[in-house]
């Protein structure tokens, strides 16, 4: 999983290529953030919370709040991808120190006015077509849902993206949206089929 590369893989570095031996905090925060995001998407809350604490501790050692703001936005993006759309409380107190690109991304995530499209990653400057990274696709689809411009095809693609990764949390959320649409349109057979999928994904293992 690429995990929003512009935020996560080179966190805190102007250019990773010029730093062949990254500092311990960089490796620790990157690995912990990756693990936290994956665990969150898989619905493994205890692991996600523990890894996120590890990432925060590593980044706090730098005394640079803008780095912590980036990390919190990665977590926020995973929540939005899972249709948890309330404001990102952990990012809010760090927003004043965030870079312009991070502020633009935060506004984009929650459909707020004033998001500078030019500062967003290229994959988020248009629709969802052509976005290969599954997490980025889910984020973009969730943004379109908030704007009320989501097509059935885009919704189905979000379900498929979450399903292909085995991400229980966003899959259950997107299946629920699909089922609601099917019921509203009177497609009861489809709604029942989606309920069977929901039951399977939500079944304790």
pLDDT at position 20, please? Answer: 67
> How many domains does the structure of the chain reveal?
2
pLDDT at position 3, please? Answer: 43
Q: Where does a domain end: 77, 100, 123? A: 123
In terms of domains, do 119 and 166 share one? no
In terms of domains, do 64 and 117 share one? yes
In terms of domains, do 76 and 99 share one? yes
- Give the C-alpha separation, 186 to 198, whole Å: 19
pLDDT at position 197, please? Answer: 96
Q: Where does a domain end: 60, 93, 123? A: 123
Q: Where does a domain end: 91, 123, 155? A: 123
Residue 30: count of CB within 10 angstroms of its CB: 20
In terms of domains, do 117 and 147 share one? no
Residue ranges in the chain whose pLDDT is less than 70: 1-20, 113-115, 127, 204-205
pLDDT at position 70, please? Answer: 92
In terms of domains, do 53 and 116 share one? yes
Nearest to 170 by CA among 97, 83, 60: 83
In terms of domains, do 119 and 131 share one? no
Parent domain of 139: 126-202
């Amino acid at each position: 999983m690429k995990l929003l590369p512009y935020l996560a893989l080179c966190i805190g570095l102007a250019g990773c290529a010029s730093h062949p031996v990254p500092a311990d905090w960089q490796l620790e925060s990157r690995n912990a953030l990756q693990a936290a995001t994956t665990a969150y998407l898989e619905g493994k809350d205890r692991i996600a919370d523990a890894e996120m604490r590890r990432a925060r501790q590593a980044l706090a050692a730098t005394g640079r709040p803008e780095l912590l703001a980036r990390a919190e936005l990665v977590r926020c993006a995973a929540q939005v991808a899972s249709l948890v759309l309330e404001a990102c409380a952990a990012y809010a107190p760090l927003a004043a120190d965030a870079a312009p690109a991070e502020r633009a991304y935060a506004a984009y995530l929650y459909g707020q006015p004033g998001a500078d499209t030019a500062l967003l990653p290229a994959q988020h400057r248009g629709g969802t077509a052509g976005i290969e990274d599954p997490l980025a696709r889910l984020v973009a689809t969730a943004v379109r849902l908030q704007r009320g411009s989501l097509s059935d095809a885009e919704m189905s693609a979000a379900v498929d993206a979450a399903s292909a990764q085995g991400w229980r949390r966003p899959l259950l959320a997107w299946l629920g949206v699909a089922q609601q649409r099917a019921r509203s349109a009177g497609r009861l057979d489809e709604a029942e089929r989606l309920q069977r999928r929901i039951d399977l994904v939500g079944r304790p293992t």
